[in-house]
Amino acid sequence: MEHGESLTPEDRRRARDRREFERARGRPGRLLWLTLGPGVLAMLGENDAPSMLSYATTGAQYGVGFFLPFVVLTFAVAFVVQEMTIRLGVVTHRGHCQLIRERFGNFWGFFALVDLFVSNLLTLVTEFLGIRAGLGFFGIPPILAVSLGFGIVMAVVLTQRYWTWERFTLGLACFNLIFVPAACIAHPVSSEVLRAFLTWGPLPGGWNYQTILILMADIGATVTPWMVFFQQSAVVDKGLTAADIPMARLETALGTLLASVAAIATILATSPLFPASGRSLTALANNDFAQALVPHLGNLGATLFALGIFEAGLVAAITISMASAYAFGEVTQGVTSLNRPVREGWQFYATICTAAGLSGCLVLIPHAPLNVVILLVNVLAVLAMPPALVFLLVLANDPEVMGPYRNSPLNNWIAGTITACLCGLGLVWAVATVGGGS
């Protein structure tokens, strides 16, 4: 058999994409357009339903102040983490689960897979709850809302082409910025916003249980394990190489900027609820922000907010389902690409269908304790990050794996500080919880 005849459809599609990259060398605008995808989708995908509801609760409970610069800091942390996944992916051409399995053995590969699956399932439940809540504002019944969300997830992946999936999902992700006009309608006081960023006032209320919980939720709204698994596998599926690292960093930085703008806008949009709201963190569970905003933002602002929650849940459902499928294929040594047809990679597509379908069904169970899941899903993401960061740091410093692209001392100092802070905050939360926080 001739070499050309042995090429799979996946090989041909990826080679076609690489030719476009080579033609774009020397044209930064075109090259950035081609590189757009993994980083922007990881960042905007993490601006998911529970994340935006966390930011909404932050605005409703604390108004404009300490949490504006704090949220920007969490996105800077996310960029540091995701930059390491870029280098791992383009240098090794391996997804994160596959790399863990190859370097540490099958046990740790399956451990990473199971840990990711459990956290992804909990998160996916909240995404479909966001889809249900967002469309519920318009009177759409839950079963129809969840079915529509599931249908869109499957329609996008069944294009059987990474490039098509990526461009369509990017288009949806842009609507995360719908929170910006909602914030403008809220008419935040510009001097207060500027003062918050320049002075970074004290932590409101001090270190009480609710403040610690919202701190944890806002960190978990930005830095989560699934982002590491998704972006590393996505840059591999996209076919990026070491020559693309600078543009991939820029693309991830752009995603960081867009996501942080949307997060800040969400806090500002719900800040009018602050003076007299008296809300507790149960507002996260009630999903009633859009309705509560009608007296402050009018029907237009509340509509934009509801559509934003729907979009946040939908894009995250698409990307998190993909992260699960990538990880499953990498550990089981099966198909790990959207460039494969369904008949060859049916397990890959079945994993996406199962993850999204099961989560959607759980949302529809009457009287299911979904309130607890929504409240704690971002907190659990923070607790799950230190082990993920340890794997990431070890791999990023492995000279056999990374060669000249391994971490610098500054990378290690920053990442080590992040890991220590997350561990410390998790310990504080645990102590506060055991101490009877409410």
* Statement: residue 10 has pLDDT above 70: no
pLDDT at 374: 67
Q: Which residues of 329-347 are buried (b: 16+ CB within 10 A; e: fewer)?
A: bbbbebbbbbbbeeebbee
- How many percent of the chain have pLDDT more than 70? 92
Cα–Cα distance measured from residue 141 to residue 166, given in angstroms and rounded to the nearest whole number? 29
Is pLDDT larger for residue 397 or for residue 61? 397
pTM: 0.89
Domain 4-434 has CATH 1.10.4160: yes
Q: What are the E-state strand segments in 332-413?
A: none
By C-alpha distance, which of 276, 300, 273 is closest to 289? 273
pLDDT in the model for residue 73 = 93
What are the pLDDT digits (tens) for 234-246? 999 888 889 899 9
- What type of residue sits at position 250? L
CB 229 within 8 A of CB 83: no
Q: How far is CA 96 from the centre of its chain?
A: 16
Q: What is the pLDDT of residue 276?
A: 54
Distance CA 163, CA 34 (A): 10
Residue 306: the pLDDT is 92
> How far is it, in rounded angstroms, from Cα 86 to Cα 252?
9
CB neighbourhood size of 311 (10 A): 26
CA 69 – CA 47 distance, rounded (Å): 17
Averaged pLDDT for residues 323-337: 88
Nearest of 35, 6, 7, 13 to residue 241 by alpha carbon: 35
For 209-244, letters b (16+ CB in 10 Å) and e give bbbbbbbbbbbbbbbbbbbbbbbbbbbbbbbbeeeb
Find the radius of gyration of the CA atoms of the chain. 21
- Give the residue-averaged pLDDT of 235-263: 93
Q: What is residue 6's predicted lDDT score, i.e. its pLDDT?
A: 60
Give me the residue spans of the domains in the chain.
Answer: 4-434
In this prediction, residue 436 has a pLDDT band, given cuts at 50, 70 and 90, of low
d(CA 404, CA 415) in angstroms, rounded, equals 18
Does 362 score more than 70 pLDDT?
yes
For 109-150, write each residue's pLDDT tens digit. Answer: 888 888 888 888 888 988 998 898 889 889 999 999 999 999
